[in-house]
Chain A
Amino acid sequence: MVSESRHGGSKKRYRISKRANQLSPSGIRKFFDLLASIEGVISLGVGEPDYATPWHIIESAIESLEKGQTMYTSNSGMPELRQELARYLHGHYGLDYDPNTELLITVGVSEALDLAMRAIINPGDEVIMPDPHYVAYDSCVILAGGKVVTVPTYEDDNFEISAADIEMNLTGNTRAILIGYPANPTGAVMSREKTEELTDVARHHGVLVISDEIYAKLVYGVEHVCVAALPGMRENTVLLGGFSKAYAMTGWRIGYAAAPAEIIAAMTKIHQYTMMCAPTMAQVAALEALKSGEESAAEMVEDYNRRRLFMVKGLRDIGLPCFEPKGAFYAFPSIRITGMTSEDFAEALLTEEKVAAVPGSAFGECGEGYIRCCYATSMADIEEALARMKRFVSKHRKD
């Protein structure tokens, strides 16, 4: 449920840390408070699969619980899981990581991202990231004491971050480039060419790339380019991945980091004092997902692709220009024809037509003028949402 505490309200009774105060409250929280109070809302807001985890994965976790597999695991994760993960990364990308020193199992990619930032950032270090970006990226940098430097990305460039723009923003304090492709919120995928340009800049200037590849498996008709697999990048990349999106395992909270041993060692130290280890049953489930989840994942991807085509066509048909998302499960239509801000649009859409979408501005300045619509929801809901949005757009369009 939506948490009740909203930054203390008006009374300031407790002395909250500067660092916590520095984090901006999520701009979308109020929608979800509102959402919880309205009946019959169709939500295109939540970024998670609408499937339950495939049964064979759930079953493996239940079995482990029945057998009493309820203790801690090694800090870095079950050895079998790390070995299987090493095999997976080798099989998919030809990447060789030592399961004993170069892989860490984490509580979702969220934790892995936090650990990576805390492991490499000193006060004042700068981290470059695209705008718009996933809402946690800047917070993780700020929490680690770093400074966020955003590089605008545009629909005309397929929302790919440009190496030249990155280079322009490099300073002596630049520590890392943080990217996440396929991207949330745009659904953009980086082409091999653009990714290589980016990694050339990173390598040339000795800047690490933190690559959040949680949506790696969710690409439609294009390849996913793994940053760490590009020439010379294994030693220059912190690769973050997880199981939530491809195997419909969001609630299990399980992910991983793959990086050179020195970085993994630092991340593991923080992980061991804060998390101890990722939940054991979730690790068992992740092992099963890696071993035999490929087929269920592929089926879901096929299904998302149908909904993707349906959603994008539908949005364009009702007059909202929509960039073609080649990955993840988001459509990111422009709402400029209404003359409204993203936030006003999203709020009015919710109150007038009971459709929840996330204002693009929640993901950065370049997201203004767009809304994020997650199509990982039933076809019937997508269709109904589009019908309601059609009414809404024809009422509000200004062109």
Chain B
Amino acid sequence: MLNDILKILENDAQTTPKQLAEMTGMSQSEVTKLIRQALKDRTILKYKAIINWDQVEDEQVWALIEVKLTPQKDVGFDSVAERIYRFAQTRTVYLVSGTYDLFVLVVGKSNHEIADFVSQKLSHIEGVKETVTQFVLKRYKEDGEIIEGKEEVKRQPVIL
């Protein structure tokens, strides 16, 4: 039941409890209760919009940063990750398998700002051994949404 609600909300966070109730066959109060609980226990972290910033002048610069770490005694990678994700510039931080350890997505107002973040902040954190910064040139798809040229399915009037 909760899963059903979460799936709908993940696709459209603006779906109202009334709509959710009708779509799932639950009562509105049941839905509201489940959502409240999900927000409380942080199953739902936040409701957000997916924005195409290229449409507005206030441009953003995105960078994907690969970070290699030296494991810290007793605490492993977690405490280093925490020292990184505390920075507001970091939008996404993952521990990954492969040739590096942390994947960090950073969003800033300019290349300069990101360069500063990497050289002044990130590289000085204890445990950070090496960073590789890749600037994003173009976003094609964001969180499941195609950014440009998404075509609406056009149906012809037919008789069936």
- List A residues 14-60 near B (Cβ within 8 Å): 26, 28-29, 32, 35-36, 43, 45-48, 50-52
A310-B23, A314-B22, A379-B19 as given contacts; A32 in contact with B157, CB under 8 Å: yes
A52-B153, A309-B25 as given contacts; A32 in contact with B160, CB under 8 Å: no
Q: A374's closest neighbor in chain B, by CB?
A: B160
B13 to chain A, nearest CB (A): 13
Chain A residues lying within 8 Å of B19, measured Cβ to Cβ, are: 310, 379, 383
The number of chain B residues touching the other chain, given as a range, is 10 to 19
Q: Is the CB of A309 within 8 A of B155?
A: no
B152 to chain A, nearest CB (A): 10
Chain A residues lying within 8 Å of B8, measured Cβ to Cβ, are: 306
A134 to B160, CA, bound (A): 8
Q: Is the CB of A1 within 8 A of B156?
A: yes
A36 to B156, CA, bound (A): 9
The verdict on A387 contacting chain B, using a C-beta distance below 8 Å, is: no
Q: Which of B22, B153, B157 contacts A36 (CB 8 A)?
A: B157
Contact indicator per residue, chain B 21-50, by CB within 8 Å of chain A (1) or not (0): 011110000000000000000000000000
Q: B21's closest neighbor in chain A, by CB?
A: A313
The verdict on B75 contacting chain A, using a C-beta distance below 8 Å, is: no
Q: B157's closest neighbor in chain A, by CB?
A: A32
Q: Which of B12, B15, B159 contacts A135 (CB 8 A)?
A: B159
Q: Is the CB of B22 within 8 A of A313?
A: yes
A333 to chain B, nearest CB (A): 15
The verdict on B51 contacting chain A, using a C-beta distance below 8 Å, is: no
Q: Which of A43, A47, A51, A309 contacts B22 (CB 8 A)?
A: A309
| Of B15, B25, B157, most A-chain CB atoms within 10 Å | B157
The verdict on A147 contacting chain B, using a C-beta distance below 8 Å, is: no
A310-B19, A379-B19, A383-B19 as given contacts; A35 in contact with B24, CB under 8 Å: no
Q: Is the CB of B23 within 8 A of A50?
A: no
Q: Which of A26, A36, A309 contacts B23 (CB 8 A)?
A: A309
Q: A377's closest neighbor in chain B, by CB?
A: B155
The verdict on B137 contacting chain A, using a C-beta distance below 8 Å, is: no
B21 to chain A, nearest CB (A): 9
A310-B22, A314-B22 as given contacts; A46 in contact with B158, CB under 8 Å: yes
A contact residues, total (Cβ < 8 Å): 28
Chain B residues lying within 8 Å of A28, measured Cβ to Cβ, are: 159
A28 to B158, CA, bound (A): 10
A50-B153, A51-B153, A52-B153 as given contacts; A307 in contact with B159, CB under 8 Å: no
Q: Is the CB of B160 within 8 A of A46?
A: yes
A43 to B155, CA, bound (A): 10
The verdict on A2 contacting chain B, using a C-beta distance below 8 Å, is: yes
Q: Which of B12, B22, B159 contacts A32 (CB 8 A)?
A: B159
Chain A residues lying within 8 Å of B159, measured Cβ to Cβ, are: 26, 28-29, 32, 135
Q: A134's closest neighbor in chain B, by CB?
A: B160
- List A residues 116-149 near B (Cβ within 8 Å): 134-135
Q: Is the CB of B23 within 8 A of A135?
A: no
A379-B19, A383-B19 as given contacts; A306 in contact with B24, CB under 8 Å: yes
A302 to B5, CA, bound (A): 12
Q: Is the CB of B157 within 8 A of A45?
A: yes
| Of A32, A307, A310, most B-chain CB atoms within 10 Å | A310
Chain A residues lying within 8 Å of B7, measured Cβ to Cβ, are: 302
Q: A41's closest neighbor in chain B, by CB?
A: B157
A201 to B99, CA, bound (A): 69
Q: A248's closest neighbor in chain B, by CB?
A: B153
B11 to chain A, nearest CB (A): 9
Chain B residues lying within 8 Å of A48, measured Cβ to Cβ, are: 155, 158, 160
Chain A residues lying within 8 Å of B24, measured Cβ to Cβ, are: 306, 309
A303 to chain B, nearest CB (A): 9
Task: List chain A positions with a Cβ less than 8 A from chain B.
Answer: 1-2, 26, 28-29, 32, 35-36, 43, 45-48, 50-52, 134-135, 184, 302, 306-307, 309-310, 313-314, 379, 383
Known: A47-B160, A48-B160, A306-B4. 8 other contacts (CB 8 A): A32-B157, A32-B159, A36-B157, A50-B155, A309-B25, A310-B19, A379-B19, A379-B23
- Write 25 A-B pairs (CB below 8 A) sorted by A numbering: A1-B156, A1-B157, A26-B159, A29-B159, A32-B157, A32-B158, A32-B159, A35-B157, A45-B157, A46-B157, A46-B158, A48-B158, A48-B160, A50-B153, A51-B153, A135-B159, A306-B24, A309-B22, A309-B23, A309-B25, A310-B23, A314-B22, A379-B15, A379-B19, A383-B19
Nearest 4 CB-CB pairs, A to B? A306-B23, A47-B160, A310-B22, A32-B157
